[in-house]
Structure 1
Amino acid sequence: MPRQVQYTFKGETKVIPFSFSQHHDPYEAVAAEEGIDLTRFLQMEQQIAMTSKKGAKAERDFRRSEFSRMGFANIHFVQDDEES
């Protein structure tokens, strides 16, 4: 069954198809859908991962805050019961 990602971008809710063969995570998929270049974001995220003592939590917090700043909200995989 194909996966889908639902997100809100600048007040508009959208659902897009998702494949792990094309994107690392749902955040990368929604950025690609909206035409946003993540090169600098991914570099900063990597630096945070290497220097943070909090590890994955620091990365998640950075990712959420930066995507919120870009205009994204509620990025998540669609559950089977949400589709109907």
Structure 2
Amino acid sequence: MAFRIRYHYGKQLKEMGYANDKHHSVYDAIAKAEGVDLTEYHRMEDQLAGVCRNDRKTLKDFREEYFRKLGFSDIVIEREF
């Protein structure tokens, strides 16, 4: 199923297509579209996942804060019909 992602980056509203079979996550897709290297993010996310195995809220909060620091905001996912 295809989706549309709408987000703000660099004070500009942007929109792009997203398919689950092409990207690991929505966040990976928008970072790739903007040319942001996520090597450090994935390393830290893996470490955090090992410590907080059953705590999805901690991982979500980490992800949202990390991308906020990168300059992304107002990430909205919409299903295409």
Structure 1-normalised TM-score? Answer: 0.85
* Contact 2:2/2:79 (<8 A) preserved: no
SS at structure 2 position matched to 1:6 = strand
Aligned to 2:78: 78
Q: Secondary structure at the match of 1:78?
A: strand
Q: 1:39, CA displacement in angstroms?
A: 1.1
Match in the other structure for 2:51: 51
Q: Which residue of 2 aligns with 1:42?
A: 42
| Structure 2 stretches lacking a partner, 5+ long | none
What is the root-mean-square deviation of aligned Cα atoms in Å?
Answer: 1.6
What displacement does 1:78 show?
2.3
**Structure 1 stretches of at least 4 aligned residues deviating more than 6 Å after TM superposition:** none
Match of residue 67 from structure 1:
67
Identity of aligned residues (%): 31
May I ask how many residue pairs the two structures share in their alignment? 80
> Once the 2 structures are TM-superposed, how far is the Cα of residue 54 of structure 1 from its aligned partner?
5.9
Name the TM-score, length of structure 2 as normaliser.
0.88
> Higher strand share goes to which structure?
2
* 8 Å CA contact retained: 2:2, 2:20: no
Higher RCO (Cα < 8 Å, 6 or more apart): 2
